[in-house]
């Protein structure tokens, strides 16, 4: 309900979200607890200004690639972990193009070469497993607040549960799960202060675990649980939490996982390895095949943009060419699903031999 308030004068704030100066004689009114400027009410579109805690109306502009820009200055400040390649890099570029100031987390200085060439992106050394590195990133990205955090950093190792060394399990959880928690704990106070948004990059593997992907899929199940829990815990603070469940994406993570799997296979003892020879070969073929049925990382970046900019962000985003089959498989009884997956991967003979 709108209630008229007195004229506002000399509001010494420049909107960090849309870039409009608020410092002239204007009429303002209250709208659902937010300050709205009368001179803009007629024809401009709403954009949520979290930094100033009011809803500000700003003109729409378009970038060269057709993306919508709000206002003429930076829309806010976003931290993206794992930004050197793949999904993280695509998110950083897309968010910078639509007007955000982006801090792209990288592990080595050389990883930031491409990011440095793009206006609006500041590479930040950030190892999610290092407390010292996190504090260094906080010192760079934190002083002016943070509007959004994209938890993307992750690694993938594939192989049978029995053969993947415990050290590899531990490393994967350290990066994909504990690293995400550490980043969240470090930057949550900044997001709470200005009602920011979290976007956690998960996987369709976080809904349906696949053979020989147990260590990776287990971390993505954990990301689902953490996202669900965090969303409920911070709802009262006005903080949004979304998780992106991606299928096969054209990044190097699949190539790296195959390389890691080859090393694990080579180092395994002969006796247990024989039990998985048919299955592992089939899984490696499937991973290699999936690399030809991927989506571009920018498709994931588009849904991340929606999660950060929409007035009603979704709690979950499904993206990928192959996600439909996983969703359909999930409605089946467990043993039916197991049979279909194993039959597709390794054929009837493997199922008979395993029975």
Mean pLDDT of 220-245: 97
In this structure, the answer to whether residues 155 and 43 fall within a common structural domain is no
In this structure, the answer to whether residues 109 and 243 fall within a common structural domain is yes
Check if the beta carbon of residue 115 is closer than 8 Å to that of residue 89.
yes
In this structure, the answer to whether residues 62 and 141 fall within a common structural domain is no
Q: What DSSP string runs through 17-41?
A: TT--EE-S-B-EEEETTEEEEGGGT
Within a domain: 349: no
pLDDT interval class at 146 (50, 70, 90):
very high
Residues 125, 252, 308, 173: what is their CA dihedral angle, to the nearest 10 degrees?
-70
In this structure, the answer to whether residues 86 and 57 fall within a common structural domain is no
Within a domain: 353: no
276 catalytic? Reply is no
Give the pLDDT confidence score for residue 73 in this predicted structure.
38
Phi-psi region of 3 (alpha: psi -120 to 50; beta: other; left: phi over 0): beta
Give the pLDDT confidence score for residue 347 in this predicted structure.
62
Residue 266 burial class via C-beta count within 10 angstroms: exposed 0-12, middle 13-18, buried 19 and up = exposed
Please give the DSSP secondary-structure letter assigned to residue 111: G
In this structure, the answer to whether residues 237 and 178 fall within a common structural domain is yes
In this structure, the answer to whether residues 163 and 54 fall within a common structural domain is no
Residues 206, 296, 179, 167: what is their CA dihedral angle, to the nearest 10 degrees?
70
Give the pLDDT confidence score for residue 75 in this predicted structure.
79
Does residue 98 or residue 64 have the better pLDDT? 98
Give the pLDDT confidence score for residue 46 in this predicted structure.
36
In this structure, the answer to whether residues 250 and 186 fall within a common structural domain is yes
Q: Which of 54, 100, 216, 276 is catalytic?
A: 216
| CA atoms 339, 165, 182, 120: torsion sign | negative
- Domain holding 49, by residue range, is 2-68
Give the pLDDT confidence score for residue 41 in this predicted structure.
34
In this structure, the answer to whether residues 19 and 114 fall within a common structural domain is no
In this structure, the answer to whether residues 30 and 104 fall within a common structural domain is no
pLDDT interval class at 287 (50, 70, 90):
confident
CB neighbours of residue 300 within 10 Å: 26
- Worst-scoring range by mean pLDDT, 39-43, 294-298, 314-318? 39-43
Check if the beta carbon of residue 3 is closer than 8 Å to that of residue 33.
no
Query: pLDDT tens across 309-353, in order?
Result: 999 999 999 999 888 888 888 889 999 988 888 888 866 555 555
Check which CATH number belongs to the domain holding 102 and give it: 3.40.50.720
Query: pLDDT tens across 81-93, in order?
Result: 999 999 999 999 9
In this structure, the answer to whether residues 139 and 278 fall within a common structural domain is yes
In this structure, the answer to whether residues 32 and 161 fall within a common structural domain is no
Q: Which of 254, 295, 81, 264 shows the shortest CA–CA distance to 176?
A: 81
Within a domain: 274: yes
For the chain, the domain total comes to 2
pLDDT interval class at 286 (50, 70, 90):
confident
Q: pTM value? A: 0.76
């Amino acid at each position: 309900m709108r209630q008229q308030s007195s004229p506002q004068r000399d509001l010494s704030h420049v909107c960090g979200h849309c870039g409009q100066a608020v410092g002239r004689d204007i009429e303002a009114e209250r709208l659902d607890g937010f300050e709205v400027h009368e001179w803009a009410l007629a024809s401009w579109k709403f954009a949520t200004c979290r930094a100033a805690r009011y809803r500000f109306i700003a003109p729409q502009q378009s970038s060269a690639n057709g993306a919508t820009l709000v206002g003429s200055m930076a829309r806010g400040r976003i931290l993206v972990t794992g930004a050197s390649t793949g999904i993280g890099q695509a998110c950083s570029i897309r968010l910078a193009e639509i007007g955000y100031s982006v801090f792209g987390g990288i592990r080595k200085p050389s990883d930031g070469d491409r990011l440095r060439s793009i206006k609006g992106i500041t590479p930040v050394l950030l190892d999610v497993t290092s407390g010292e590195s996190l504090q260094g990133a906080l010192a760079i990205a934190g002083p002016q607040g943070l509007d959004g955090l994209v938890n993307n950093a992750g690694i993938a190792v594939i192989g049978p549960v029995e053969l993947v060394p415990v050290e590899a399990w531990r490393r994967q959880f350290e990066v994909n799960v504990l690293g995400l928690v550490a980043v969240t704990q470090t930057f949550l106070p900044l997001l709470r202060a200005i009602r920011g948004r979290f976007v956690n990059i998960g996987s369709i593997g976080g809904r349906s675990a696949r053979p020989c992907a147990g260590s990776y899929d287990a971390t993505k199940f954990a990301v689902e649980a953490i996202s669900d829990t965090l969303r409920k815990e911070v709802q009262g603070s006005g903080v949004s939490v979304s998780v992106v469940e991606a299928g096969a994406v054209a990044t190097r993570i699949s190539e790296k996982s195959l390389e890691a799997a080859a090393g694990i296979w080579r180092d395994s003892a002969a006796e247990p390895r024989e039990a998985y020879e048919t299955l592992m070969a089939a899984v490696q073929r499937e991973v290699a095949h999936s690399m030809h049925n991927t989506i571009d990382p920018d498709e994931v970046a588009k849904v991340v943009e929606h999660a950060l900019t929409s007035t009603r962000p979704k709690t979950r985003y499904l993206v990928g060419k192959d996600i439909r089959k996983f969703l359909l498989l999930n409605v089946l009884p467990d043993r039916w699903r197991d049979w279909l997956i194993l039959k597709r991967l390794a054929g009837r003979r493997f199922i008979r031999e395993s029975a």
